[in-house]
Amino acid sequence: MIKQFLSLFVLGFIVSGCAQDQKDFVITIKTEYGDMIGILYDETPQHKANFIKLAKEHYFDGTLFHRVIREFMIQGGDPDSKTIKPGEPLGNGGPGYTIPSEIVPQLFHERGAMAAARLNDPQNPKRESSGSQFYIVQGQVLSQVEVEDLKIDQQQLSTAMRQFFQNPVHKGLRDTLAQLQRNNEIDAFQKKVFALVPSIEKETNTKIIREVSPEKLKAYTTVGGAPFLDDQYTVFGKIIKGLDIIDKIAMLHTDNTDRPVDDFAMTITVKEMSRQKITKEFGYVYPKK
């Protein structure tokens, strides 16, 4: 029994040591405003492999952050931006292929998240990602009302509310909500709806409240992000150093297409490092498998 225990202990120690020595890739996005350093997630292997491949081929070098929306995100990776003239439209370029969706629920749009751009659902029902265009989230910190909103399945709520208010018994509640809408009292309207959710769920037998992980709630209420994009686009990485550079870029003056008035290019490099060193140097802690 003791021998068995020692064997398992030694095996566990060896496996643990191998995991600590495991290597990963660090990407550096260089701009005139500073550098952003990121990691790419193992949970999205096709996106990770593609991004590393393109970066090693210098595909991104000389491309622009061509779409910048303050308190939302900065987007780049369109190869057409290397040669396009000022004022000409961008956003349709790529390497000639898409990547299958790798939407993972636990990977979400917190501040610094890297995600793949894509065509909208009507043109792209499988939500396949652009082969090269990506965006980095700046977002906003959520208020308490917005946090409550995050816990609501809006589609289910809309359907259940229609059913709930078909009952004449609820005419007074319906009139109250209508009045709040007419007066543009948005916060009061939302609070009233949130308070009604348990009754609506019970009467319509509809699941409206959805589970939101503590990690997601903490991120959105401290560093912020863009939760309305969750489960819609593939999040495949995260900026782990240089979040302030996102803010600098997001503050740039843009034209009516959200393109910065003064173009600036990026260069992306890839470096292989041990995960232990990445944690030590950048403070990023890999999640336990």
pTM: 0.84
Q: What is the pLDDT of residue 176?
A: 94
Mean pLDDT, residues 9-20 taken together:
41
Q: What is the mean pLDDT of the chain?
A: 91
Provide the residue type at 264 as one letter.
F
pLDDT band at 63 (very low <50, low <70, confident <90, very high): very high
Q: What is the pLDDT of residue 22?
A: 93
- How far is the first Cα of the chain from the last one, in angstroms, to the nearest whole number? 28
pLDDT in tens, 81-109: 999 887 788 999 999 999 999 999 999 99
Please, is 21 exposed, middle or buried when counting C-beta atoms within 10 Å of its C-beta (0-12, 13-18, 19+)?
exposed
Residues, the chain, total? 289
Q: Does the structure show a pLDDT above 50 at 13?
A: no
Q: What is the pLDDT of residue 4?
A: 40
Which phi and psi (to 5°) does residue 256 adopt? -75, 0
- Segments making up each domain of the chain, as ranges: 25-141+222-282, 152-204
pLDDT in tens, 191-236: 899 899 999 999 999 999 988 899 999 999 999 999 999 999 999 9
CA nearest neighbour of 45 among 20, 24, 19:
24
Q: What is the pLDDT of residue 3?
A: 44
Q: What is the pLDDT of residue 11?
A: 38
Contact residues for 169 (Cβ-Cβ < 8 A; gap 6+): none
Q: Does the structure show a pLDDT above 50 at 266?
A: yes
pLDDT in tens, 129-174: 999 999 999 999 998 778 888 888 888 999 999 999 999 999 999 9
- CATH number for 25-141+222-282 (one of 1.10.150.120, 2.60.120.200, 3.30.70.20, 2.40.100.10): it is 2.40.100.10
CA nearest neighbour of 53 among 27, 35, 83:
27
pLDDT band at 112 (very low <50, low <70, confident <90, very high): very high
pLDDT band at 285 (very low <50, low <70, confident <90, very high): very high
Contact residues for 188 (Cβ-Cβ < 8 A; gap 6+): 180
pLDDT band at 116 (very low <50, low <70, confident <90, very high): very high
pLDDT band at 10 (very low <50, low <70, confident <90, very high): very low
pLDDT band at 15 (very low <50, low <70, confident <90, very high): very low
